Amino acid sequence: MKLSLFTIGLILSSSLLAQKNQGVVIYERKQNMHRSVIEEMRAMIPEFRSSKHMLLFTEQQSLYKIMPKDEAPDPFNNRNGMAINLGGGTSETYLNFGENKKLTATDLFGNAYLIQDTIRKYDWKLTDETKTIAGYICKKATTNYKAFRSGARIMNPLSNVSPEPPKQEDMVVIAWYALELSSPAGPENYSGLPGVIMELDFDNGATVFLAEEYRKLDNTNQLKEPKKGRKVTQDEYVNETKKVIENMRNGPIQIKSGN
């Protein structure tokens, strides 16, 4: 009888561990907008922009997407009669870790794109520092890479002075990952750690992703590859974006590309 109970206990324990190989994590994405604009523009927009996102994951796949907006409207839209959109992440990012495949479904001024790429590899440096996030003990990892800082400048439409082109700068990313959630998944493009990323601090608070809740994944069929949009490579999409930016350069608000 004791052996039978022990065996049953092992089966139940294995079942519980297997459930941690898949699930749903709910994040708040908080972006410091005042760090991206000059002082004259700060009075026009709130300091922080927040949005809710969800990460569906298994050991082999992940799907990161924004949650439906049932709450109040975005404070950056229709402000003083002017629509302001300074970025908020792509609509869906799908990763297949076994196939090293990445698909990003996004929208660029009303045009739907499906960007086909490989998964970016980050040079994570693991540490023994820990803290608890959403009930899970997490370990710290960091990485460095070069990127463009996003931003906007108010320009005098009568001025002939052209804005300085954006320059790549050194960025620091701090990640906290939960070993108990055994998948290399994370928010947006970030992945490759020995557990799901529960908090991500990009460029010392410029953008922070914080896990608020873990849920069970009721049906793995919810984790599907995005299909809609014109298929392009990452380079082709970058060229499309450059064309849009070039068309905006003569306007009173100069936008420079971000991450």
Q: Long-range contacts for 35-39 (Cβ within 8 Å, ≥24 apart)?
A: 35/205, 35/206, 36/86, 36/149, 36/150, 36/151, 36/152, 36/206, 36/258, 37/151, 37/152, 37/153, 38/152, 38/153, 38/154
The half-sphere exposure of 209 on its side-chain side, counting CA atoms within 13 A, is: 27
pLDDT digits (tens, 9 = 90+) for 166-219: 677 788 999 999 999 999 999 988 999 999 999 999 988 889 999 999 999 988
Domain ranges of the chain: 2-256
**Alpha carbon distance 155, 137 (integer Å):** 47
One-letter amino acid for residue 143 of the chain: T
- For position 230, what pLDDT does the model report? 92
Question: Which of the four pLDDT bands, split at 50, 70 and 90, describes residue 110?
Answer: confident
Quote the pTM value. 0.77
Please give the full DSSP string across 24-39, using - where no structure is assigned. Answer: EEEEEEEEEGGGGB-H
pLDDT digits (tens, 9 = 90+) for 49-64: 889 999 999 999 999 9
